Amino acid sequence: MVHSDRKISPQENRLPPPLQTGLALTALAPMQDVTDLFFMSVIDRYGSPDYFFTEYFRVYTNSGLDKKTLRSITENSTDRPIFAQLIGESIPDLVRIAQSLSHYPIAGIDLNMGCPAPRIYRKNVGGGLLRDPEKVSRILGELRDAVDGRLTVKMRVGFDDTANFDRILDLINRYNIDLLSLHGRTVKEKYHSAVHYDLIAHAVQRVNCPVLANGNVTSANAAATVLSKTGAAGVMVGRAAIRNPWIFKQIRQTLSGQPVSIVTLVEVRDYIERLRQTTTTQPIPERARVSYLKMYLNYIAQGVDAAGAFQHEMRLARTETELFEVCDRHLLSDPNQAFALEPYPGLVARPNCETAREAIVN
């Protein structure tokens, strides 16, 4: 069942209103080094999700509010609500930072319990917290007492197995969490396994708050299928939105029974140009600018040509001139050719954690 005629549940009234009442909720997944102020403004140009989430604020003893991440809140021009995400395990400092952020125009505080990067979970933060339900209980309890507004959680179904899954879902209920964004893999599965949509469906039945299904939501059709499989209140889209910033608009079209907008390669070239503009205001070496753009092009290339010629040539470019010659050759020679709605099979961006910068091919 597609949620195109779905009514908003009482639990969802805890949340800011969606762009289009009656449709499933949509959110851009927080991705470190990607979902900054600039990228959100680019996404907004092509069709915003219902909710944005910041890159995570790293929380530790004497930590402050990262200025770059804070700009995503204070300079947000999208007119869409933005949740401030925290990552950490020091309870007094999580409370301190959450209270500080509460003075800014945020939709709520989000706790990261899902990042699968080894350098993160080895510090017992992000996905590492899923190994310790007692610590999760203490963190959520203290944050719930400290946060007057919405408190949300992004997590995976477990660390290396799902032994703690139900226990943590029950904590979501105990502490009246307002929204659960659930990636249907364990931390150790990273992005390699099939997504366990049955476990997301289980969570939908067990918790009292809306659930956003996360994991392999690669297109509007995939979103509809995931909603049907899970019964979730909506979807959270991460890497697919890097490849296709039109995806949130396309999801709304699909769920409301409208034809999905066809994106042409010349429009993709325009998107790449907008991504390039963020590097022109920063005094960084050319090689760094090229690598920064490749971070995005790794994903975009998955929808340009099935043979992977654009992806291959893009990865070989060493200068901006070379890189944009590749872009123009593949995107402007037949500008009205359609950009693929789904990634072409076999073309992999090779990410290894939610930090998309680690997908750069140098």
| Cα–Cα dist 312/85, whole Å | 35
Q: Count CB atoms within 10 A of the CB of residue 22.
A: 13
Nearest to 229 by CA among 4, 3, 53: 3
How far is the C-alpha of 175 from the C-alpha of 10, rounded, in Å? 17
Give the span between the Cα atoms of 232 and 182, in whole angstroms: 10
Q: Which two tokens stand for residue 209?
A: 């708050």
- 115 catalytic per annotation: yes
Q: DSSP labels for 212-257?
A: EEES---SHHHHHHHHHHH--SEEEE-HHHHH-TTHHHHHHHHHTT
Indicate which residue of 115, 209, 327, 353 is catalytic: 115
To the question of whether residue 67 is assigned a binding role by annotation, the answer is no
DSSP 128: G
Measure the CA–CA gap between 280 and 299, rounded to whole angstroms: 21
Q: Decide if 319 contacts 286 (C-beta within 8 A).
A: yes
Residue 152, both tokens: 């949300």
Please report which helix (H) or strand (E) contains residue 328, including its range: helix 320-331
Q: Taking Cα atoms as reference points, which of 65, 66, 69 lies closest to residue 37?
A: 69
Q: Is 183 flagged in the annotation as binding?
A: yes
Is 312 within any annotated ligand binding site?
A: no
Question: Which region, left, alpha or beta, applies to residue 215 given φ > 0 means left and ψ of -120 to 50 means alpha?
Answer: left
Is residue 72 classed as helix, strand or coil in its secondary structure?
helix
Residue 111: φ, ψ to 5°:
-100, 125
Q: Which residues are annotated as a binding site?
A: 85, 154, 183, 238-239
Catalytic residues: 115
Q: Which residues are annotated as a binding site for FMN?
A: 85, 154, 183, 238-239
